[in-house]
């Protein structure tokens, strides 16, 4: 996951920034860089590869001074190379930026800037930010105002830090949406900025967390926090514990809540270096998928357990719809006892956060024994499911500590979508325009997730209303049916409330008998191809006196008029809508369990990784 560190003060920023980046090293990255103000100019060192390469580079060709900013990157736009690594300098060489997020309107902005005569030196979306700042500086604005205008121009969710050689007394930073935190650390006559507290914990315990849509002007003396519209904000200063585990939780009470909020960032990293927005193409090099293999595959078995299996169910929809290839979903614990029909043209695709789940590994082994091609979508780097596969997609979510899986659910949804598009292209079953449209839709994913996270205050109110229920039914159809299963699983595993996920169309064949006013029904009703059908399910539940909680598209007055509680989610391309609809359900389960005072991160009887059959 991308990491950011900044320093302003009397000391040399170079070791402070490099040490800070080192503290974030376990997240992994593909390039790293550093910029400091040295004798009135900005000096930059950056390189592809691990942080040690940057440290060697700075050793061979030292730079020193302050302020300074640094970054570790997961590529989003453009391959991981020195040229695409952050920090990015503007054309004047006087302004420099580091950034987490995807500038959704970067193609439009780049065209406008290019028309003005700006030359782009990298393939990144980030470079538009620094050129825009320079564009506004050229109109006579100061750095703060030029940055503010830039922040208002760019779309998407971001964490941004920038500085200018012409205003060396400040660093300007902003948080737009939920693309990961921007933390300002307060010292004595010196201050810090970071994406994550561990990066600056050795220097200070006093921190300010920027909220979405806030920016800060950080000087040696302090930090002025403002809304993007320029209204001063009285930001709360938090005192964080030295305990690295507590510090890692940052502004959140539990890891699960933190991980839910990390999804904007993990989804940004999921697209990292794999989506070529300009040419409308997907790259999944570690999958080792040749055109020849793509064409000879006759069937894919997706195998996984629990939450990962529900992600696989969504994958079945996506691969069958986009790549027109038959997919069967089989949970890991059943697969090998069923004597599945497999040959060398079958792919067995395992999905696993830990990569060590015994049932999933056994299913992979069964696939291997029968001569299948083995693929995996895995979070834990170097795990067994990654090692034994012929090809893999790594989830890029960073460590998931909460037992209830959240960010390792949404990342594979996007991985499966990308896989479907790649398969479709290599199998020649998709025209270029459709492929370009499908790829273009991906750029909205982080921001859609960010907007879904903004429903938290509404979700919390619903959680208070449901906290004492004994049972709960979750209904969904089509691509959102697995989200009903996942929502129910989240609730039961951390709140110990009995919950059932059901295909909404099946309700009339039995479960409808359960509905009365003591049985809340959570209905997934976004505007997708199954919308009309879900409306009639909501009506049926209401007619039986059920309390309906609807997850519906923002502004949907029809559902709003029927449901007892409505959680409005942003409109999303329907094949990506599960990313948006599941987030409120994760938060609902979280808040109900937290209100009930339960051990959210380590629920009873459960282990993070189930390594026994
Ligand atoms: C539920 C949950 C489990 C896991 C399942 C598979 O929140 O976490 O259902 O999804 O045990 O684990 P992995 O993905 O590690 O194979």
Q: Is the CB of residue 351 less than 8 Å from the CB of residue 311?
A: yes
pLDDT at 100: 87
**Tally of domains in the chain:** 3
Ligand 1 atom closest to residue 360's alpha carbon, by position in its atom list: 16
User: What's the CATH number where 151 sits?
Assistant: 3.60.20.10
pLDDT at 237: 93
Do both 54 and 154 map to the same domain? yes
* Domain presence at residue 256: no
Name the average pLDDT for the chain: 93
Partners of 208 in beta bridges: 184
Work out the pLDDT band at 506, boundaries 50, 70, 90.
very high
Query: Among the options 50, 370, 542, 608, which is catalytic?
Result: 608
Do both 230 and 334 map to the same domain? no
Which residue range is the domain that position 137 belongs to?
Answer: 3-251
Work out the pLDDT band at 424, boundaries 50, 70, 90.
very high
Work out the pLDDT band at 604, boundaries 50, 70, 90.
confident
pLDDT at 611: 63
Do both 474 and 530 map to the same domain? yes
- How close is the Cα of 305 to the center of ligand 1, in Å? 6
Peptide bond into 556 cis (omega under 30): no
Average pLDDT over residues 239-247: 69
pLDDT at 191: 98
- No. of H helices and E strands in the chain? 21, 26
Work out the pLDDT band at 28, boundaries 50, 70, 90.
low
Q: Is the CB of residue 382 less than 8 Å from the CB of residue 349?
A: no
Average pLDDT over residues 256-263: 94
pTM of the predicted structure, to 2 decimals: 0.80
Continuous segment of H or E residues that includes residue 73: strand 68-73
Which of 305, 332, 360 for a ligand 1 pocket mutation test, highest count of atoms within 8 Å of Cβ?
305
pLDDT in tens, 443-480: 999 999 999 999 999 999 999 999 999 999 999 999 99
Among 410, 430, 449, identify where a domain stops: 449
Residues 6+ apart with CB under 8 A from 532: none
Pocket of ligand 1 (CB under 6 A): 305-308, 352-354, 357, 360, 404-405, 489, 493, 609-610
* Domain presence at residue 610: no
The tokens for 41 are 């100019």
Average pLDDT over residues 9-28: 87
Residue with CA closest to ligand 1 atom 5: 306
* Domain presence at residue 500: yes
Q: Roughly how many angstroms between the first and final C-alpha of the chain, as a whole number?
A: 32
Q: Is the CB of residue 304 less than 8 Å from the CB of residue 413?
A: no
Ligand 1 atom closest to residue 403's alpha carbon, by position in its atom list: 8
pLDDT at 241: 67
The tokens for 155 are 């779309």
Among 210, 228, 251, identify where a domain stops: 251
Specify whether 608 is catalytic: yes
pLDDT of residue 428 exceeding 60: yes
For 45, 64, 190, 235, 569, the CA distances from 17, given in Å and listed in that order, are 12, 11, 13, 24, 38
User: What's the CATH number where 544 sits?
Assistant: 3.40.50.10490
- How close is the Cα of 611 to the center of ligand 1, in Å? 11
pLDDT in tens, 262-281: 999 899 989 988 999 989 99
- How close is the Cα of 605 to the center of ligand 1, in Å? 13
* Domain presence at residue 603: no
């Amino acid at each position: 996951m991308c990491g950011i560190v900044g320093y302003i003060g009397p000391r040399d920023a170079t070791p402070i920034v490099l040490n800070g980046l080192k503290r974030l090293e376990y997240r992994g990255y593909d390039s790293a860089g550093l910029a400091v103000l040295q004798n009135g100019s900005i000096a930059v060192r950056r390189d592809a590869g691990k942080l040690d390469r940057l440290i060697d580079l700075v050793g061979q060709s030292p730079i020193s001074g302050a302020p300074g900013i640094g970054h570790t990157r997961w590529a989003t736009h453009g391959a991981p190379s020195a040229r695409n690594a952050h920090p990015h300098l503007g054309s004047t060489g006087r302004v420099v930026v580091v950034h987490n997020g995807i500038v959704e309107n970067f193609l439009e902005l780049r065209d406008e800037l290019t028309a003005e005569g700006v030359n782009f030196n990298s393939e990144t979306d980030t470079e538009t930010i620094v050129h825009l700042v320079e564009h506004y500086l050229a109109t006579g604005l100061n750095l703060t105002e030029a940055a503010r205008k830039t922040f208002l121009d760019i779309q998407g969710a971001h964490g941004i830090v920038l500085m200018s050689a012409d205003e060396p007394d400040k660093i300007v930073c902003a948080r737009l949406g939920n693309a990961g935190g921007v933390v300002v650390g307060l010292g004595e006559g010196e201050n810090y900025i970071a994406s994550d507290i561990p990066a600056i914990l050795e220097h200070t315990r006093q921190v300010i967390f920027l909220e979405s849509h806030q920016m800060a002007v950080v000087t040696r003396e302090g930090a002025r926090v403002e809304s993007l519209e320029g209204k001063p904000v009285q930001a709360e200063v938090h005192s964080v514990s030295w305990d690295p585990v507590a510090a890692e939780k940052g502004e959140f009470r539990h890891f699960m809540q933190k991980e839910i909020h990390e999804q904007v960032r993990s989804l940004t990293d999921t697209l990292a270096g794999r989506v070529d927005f300009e040419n409308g193409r997907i790259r999944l090099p570690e999958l080792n998928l040749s055109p020849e293999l793509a064409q000879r595959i006759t069937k894919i078995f997706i195998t996984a357990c629990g939450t990962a299996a529900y992600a696989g169910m969504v994958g079945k929809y996506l691969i069958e719809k986009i790549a027109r290839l038959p997919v069967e979903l089989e949970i890991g614990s059943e697969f090998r006892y069923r004597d599945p029909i497999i040959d060398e043209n079958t792919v067995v695709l395992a999905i696993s956060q830990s990569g060590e789940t015994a049932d999933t590994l056994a299913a992979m082994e069964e696939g291997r024994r029968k001569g299948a091609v083995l693929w995996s979508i895995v979070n834990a780097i170097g795990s067994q499911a990654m090692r034994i596969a012929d090809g893999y997609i790594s989830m890029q979510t960073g460590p998931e500590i909460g037992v209830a899986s959240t960010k390792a659910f949404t990342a594979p949804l996007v991985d499966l979508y990308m896989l479907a598009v790649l398969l479709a292209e290599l199998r020649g079953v998709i025209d270029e325009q459709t492929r370009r449209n499908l790829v273009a839709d991906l750029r909205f994913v982080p921001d859609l997730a960010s907007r879904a996270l903004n429903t938290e205050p509404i979700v919390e109110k619903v959680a208070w209303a449901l906290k004492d229920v004994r049972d709960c039914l979750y209904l969904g159809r089509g691509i959102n049916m697995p989200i009903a299963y996942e929502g129910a699983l989240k609730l039961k595993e951390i709140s110990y409330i009995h919950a059932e996920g059901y295909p909404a169309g099946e309700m009339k064949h039995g479960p409808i008998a359960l509905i009365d006013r003591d049985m809340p029904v959570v209905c997934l009703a976004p505007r997708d191809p199954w919308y009309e059908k879900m409306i009639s399910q909501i009506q049926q539940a209401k007619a039986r006196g059920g309390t309906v909680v609807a997850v519906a598209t923002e502004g949907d007055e029809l559902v709003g008029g029927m449901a007892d509680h409505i959680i409005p989610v942003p409109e999303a391309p329907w094949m990506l809508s599960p990313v948006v609809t599941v987030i409120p359900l994760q938060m609902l389960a979280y808040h109900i369990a937290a209100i009930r005072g339960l051990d959210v991160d380590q629920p009873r009887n459960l282990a993070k990784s189930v390594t026994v059959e």
